[in-house]
Structure 1
Amino acid sequence: MKDVTGQKVLRDSRVTLAHGGGGKAMRDLIESVFTDVFEPDGMEDQARLTAEALAVPGARLAMTTDSFVVTPVEFPGGDIGKLAVCGTVNDLAVGGATPLYLSAAFIIEEGTEIALLRRIVATMRDEADKAGVRIVTGDTKVVGRGSADQVFITTTGVGVIAPGVELKAGNVRPGDVAIVNGVLGDHGACILAARGDMALSSDLVSDCAGLGHLMAAVQAACPNVRAARDCTRGGLASALNEIAEAAGVAVEIEEDALPLRAEVKGTCEILGLDPLYLANEGRLVLFVPEDEAEAALAAMRSVPEGEGATVIGRAKPAPAGQVTMRTLFGGARIVDMLVGEQLPRIC
């Protein structure tokens, strides 16, 4: 049965186990909720991809995959669908790739509202359009009550790296400048407040955003950009430690240069958290040679996702693999990798 717009109508308001059984109910769910929105080319068991960029001699495919679990699945500034698209796009973009295609697999808990799925899928389509990527294939599975938290999403992204582009952590050299594209920790603090289990009141909105256009602008302006990392789980601290270890350099950041909202600082002080380890979903740190730092800042600030770009530190020769922070009091402290679990179910 279809409505006046031609969209297949589901009689159920919630997902049932029948929607995962491989029959008519499953096909109705897929067509009504997913394919009518994503509009893949046909209903084959695979997507067939073409890209003019691959025809350029020396171009390479880039591929990444990630799973997304967050509580709550909807939060100020986004939902799990936005996380899935932006997170996968960003994993491609920080490696210098132009994101092109995504797949999306859904694990749906029995009893989940169909209306919630529709909102999540609509968000995914909007974010994919913003990023210039297409969601071309996917999968759905339904599990019993209590076996999932409404919905989990796994996405795989495919992009193309242009000839001569070689962004990787091992490229960072002493003297290179570290830049972030905006305020840090908003996503982690926002999710913590949205859970409602700590009686926190906050106007914070997640920083979740796709960074493909920002990275394209930086690459166009800075031919020698070294490396970039999105500061997701483990936050800025973990991203910097990964880079320092891979490059065999030290990284020193300045506490007074870190862009942090007062609300994030306050939340961390109340709960005994360190904002350097809070997850971000629209923030990255990149390293460029010192003589390209101003060009990188201008390029980042030319797009909405980089309006708050600022220099936070630089790479140094030694001690190799160590990250330190110059504090407001003139001292220094080691910023290590996140140990244990600071905030569960964040992305």
Structure 2
Amino acid sequence: MDDTVLLGHGSGGTMMKRIIDEVFFEAYAGESLLRGNDAAVLAPASEAKPSAEALAYSGSLSFSTDSFVVDPHFFPGGDIGRLAVCGTVNDVATAGAEPRYLSCGFILEEGFSMDDLRRICTSMAEAAREAGVEIVTGDTKVVNRGHGDGIYINTSGVGYGYAGIDLGGEKCAPGDKVLVTGTMGDHGITIMSCRESLSFAADIESDAAPLNHLIAEVIEAAPDVRCFRDPTRGGLASTLNELAAQSGTDMTIEEDAVPVKPAVLGACEMLGYDVFQVANEGKMVCVVPAGQAEAALAAMRANPYGKDAAIIGEVSAMQPERGPKVFLRTAFGSTRILDMLVGEQLPRIC
């Protein structure tokens, strides 16, 4: 096998067959992918059993797609491959569905290290196994040297919807509680520290993780949950503003209740970032009726990826004359508006 990606690896001939067989198939091919067809045939929900015993499938499908261009490709806590699998798994799961199948498309630049490609594919395989999903189809293209940035990945995901579950940001209602599954800002600060070669007293690493099992456990514990949303680009602030706009409500968040690692908070203060606008890749915002908030919180904390979960605020009625707002009640007792991120705080974050 060649040491680097060559244009011939995207030609459709013997070199392309070799990279598919010796890199992609070797890393994560299952029965469907090994058939070598141009499309995968997916089993219907009626032939599958939900991994969560208390839940049943509705027969509906959820579908999501995402592209990943993160720079650098490798970082503490993950890499572009883990990010690609986890990001799409999480997007499908937020619809109240169990992710089952992924597609994967690679855009490779001529000269990209074959060892790095194998490492990325191995990471994808590990993340897919953890999430319980199968990569069933894919595509590979190679562009000329200087016309890409090593590797870009697109993943699409399909999942089976849970019966009786109808989630959406528009369903948030006054009196509901707002929860997060863990500490904010870990991924964004990790990427920035890698780019700028910054070192901190405490280790900071990306939170990239598949959260589909955690989401299913919360749905079991709090069946009237309103919505899940992953606070990726734009962070917690942008996500909450999106939910407030969708539902026509206000939200008030308690600054002291939001979990943030001291090292991340210190880095944000040093760099001039608002930690509530920094990206996350393995956390969820969840809105639930007040009566089910404690049950949802307990379900989160019982999962390894939710041990730092917290109830951080509440939904309230909007004042019609000014539109929906998100407020932050600070540690000093004052209240300020928590705005969406304006512009691009940190490009190429995922």
Letter aligned with residue 160 of structure 1 = Y
Q: Give distance in 2, aligned partners of 1:51 and 1:75.
A: 37
Supply the AA of the counterpart residue of 1:281: E
Q: Which residue is 1:115 aligned to?
A: 115
SS at the partner of 1:283? Answer: coil
Question: Contact conserved, 1:237 with 1:336, CA < 8 A, in 2?
Answer: yes
**Cα offsets for 1:77-126 (capped at 9, x unmatched):** 00000000000000011111100000000001111110100010001011
Shift of 1:36: 2.2
Amino acid at match of 1:317: A
Instruction: Letter of the 2:25 partner, please give it.
Output: T
Q: Deviation of residue 145 (structure 1)?
A: 1.4
Under a length normalisation based on structure 2, what TM-score does the superposition of the two structures give?
Answer: 0.93
Contact 2:45–2:59 under 8 Å retained in 1: no
Greater alpha carbon shift after TM alignment, 50-59 vs 81-90: 50-59
Amino acid at match of 1:38: Y
Partner of 1:46: 39
Matched residues in 1 for 2:288 and 2:129: separation? 29
1:37 paired residue among 22, 27, 30: 27
Alignment partner, residue 261 of structure 2: 261
* In the alignment, structure 1 residue 335 sits paired with structure 2 residue 324: no
TM-score (norm 1): 0.94
Q: Give the alignment of 1:1-347 within 5 angstroms.
A: 10=1, 12-39=2-29, 40-53=33-46, 58-196=58-196, 199-201=198-200, 203-319=203-319, 320-347=323-350
Change (3 A) 1:54 1:200: same
- Which runs of 5 or more structure 1 residues have no equivalent in the other structure? 1-9
How many residues align? The count is 336
Q: Which moved more, 1:127-136 or 1:327-336?
A: 327-336
Give 1:336 shift: 1.3
Find the aligned partners of 2:62 and 2:45 in 1 and give their Cα distance: 15
Residues in 2 aligned to 1:207 and 1:268: alpha-carbon distance in whole angstroms: 17
> Which letter does structure 2 place at the counterpart of 1:113?
S
- For residues 50 and 42 of structure 1, the distance between their equivalents in structure 2, rounded to whole angstroms, comes to 15
- Kindly provide the CA deviation profile for residues 99-157 of structure 1, in whole angstroms up to 9, marking residues without a partner as x: 00000000011111101000100010110011010000000011111211111000000
Question: 1 CA distance for matches of 2:163 and 2:258?
Answer: 34
Ranges of 4+ aligned residues in structure 1 off by more than 6 Å: 54-57
Supply the distance in 1 between the matched residues of 2:47 and 2:273 (Cα, whole angstroms): 45
Separation in 1, partners of 2:113, 2:175: 53
**Structure 2 stretches lacking a partner, 5+ long:** 49-55
Q: CA RMSD in A?
A: 1.4
